[in-house]
Amino acid sequence: MAKKYHLEDLLLLMERLRDPDTGCPWDIQQTFASIVPYTIEEAYEVADAIAREDYPHLMDELGDLLFQVIFYARMGQEQQLFDFKDVVDNLVTKLIRRHPHVFPEGTLTSRRNIDQVISEQSIKETWERIKQEERAAKNARTDSSSPVHWLDDLPLTLPALKRAHKLQKRAAQVGFDWDSPAPVLEKIREEVAELEEAMESGLKAEVLSELGDLMFACANLARHLGSDAETVVSQANTKFQRRFDGVEDLLSQQGRSLDEATLEQMESFWQQVKVFEKEN
């Protein structure tokens, strides 16, 4: 059996790639900021492999994502900010702190009483309470004259719909929320009316602003329905592609391409595909 590489080998590989004399020119010139787009892309490729249930490919994508972490850790070490051991130590410490129901004594070796019944709701409440305590401690350490706000630590670089969900959820923790989906739906109707009014005005900036408000309200409705807008839109994307592929297949059966079809013909096939899906 061939020798399998381990984590220490990966750390050594990264060190060799970043060696200023004998390393890879591309890897040497990278910075924290320059590899962020690659990190985001790798995270999406992990999610895509899971969505497709392509588990051999998932193993490969997880490796690519891990390499991003190793890359950041190496640059942190070079700048004497932190190293990979610091990353691991901070992570383990944080997760032990956030799981007192598993590590009651605050150590990795401590174990909870197996007879103790723990509800999922209590776990969520404890998790949120500890995260709030962590945010308060972090804010107390911040050397800034600027006021610290409740929503400050939500990443600006999140996908817009995902960030909308998190903003709304965080605001709800202090009571700024509706108590059911119905008033959210009414808010959507209000936003649609405001969008129509803006479109009549012909002012593009106003139209886009109102459209953004409408999408934000839709994200809120998804949250109140127990999902999130990112997931809902992703499912809608999948459904649209599946149906459009069906339109293309029906055209192909007639010896025609999409370029040769009229909008009316494509719409007719679209309705056929929808009926077929409902019947099957």
> Could you tell me if 247 and 269 are in contact, meaning their C-beta atoms sit under 8 angstroms apart?
yes
Q: If 0-12 CB within 10 Å is exposed, 13-18 middle and 19+ buried, where does residue 33 land? A: exposed
pLDDT of residue 109: 87
CA distance 9 to 15: 10
pLDDT of residue 110: 84
Q: State the Cα angle at 188 between 182 and 190, rounded to 5°.
A: 110
CA distance 150 to 241: 39
For the four alpha carbons of 191, 196, 197 and 199, in that order, the dihedral sign comes to: positive
pLDDT of residue 145: 63
pLDDT of residue 141: 66
Q: Which two tokens stand for residue 74?
A: 């190496």
pLDDT of residue 225: 97
pLDDT of residue 132: 77
pLDDT of residue 79: 97
Q: If 0-12 CB within 10 Å is exposed, 13-18 middle and 19+ buried, where does residue 123 land? A: middle
The per-residue pLDDT for range 180-221, each reduced to its tens digit, is 999 999 999 999 999 999 999 999 999 999 999 999 999 999
pLDDT of residue 138: 72
Q: If 0-12 CB within 10 Å is exposed, 13-18 middle and 19+ buried, where does residue 233 land? A: middle
CA distance 160 to 229: 10
Average pLDDT of each block of 10 consecutive residues along the chain (280 residues)? 91 97 96 94 92 93 97 98 97 92 87 76 80 74 69 86 94 94 97 97 95 97 95 93 96 94 95 92
The per-residue pLDDT of the chain, averaged, comes to 91
- Which of these, 161, 158, 166, lies nearest to 40 by C-alpha position? 158
The per-residue pLDDT for range 76-111, each reduced to its tens digit, is 999 999 999 999 999 999 999 988 888 988 888 888
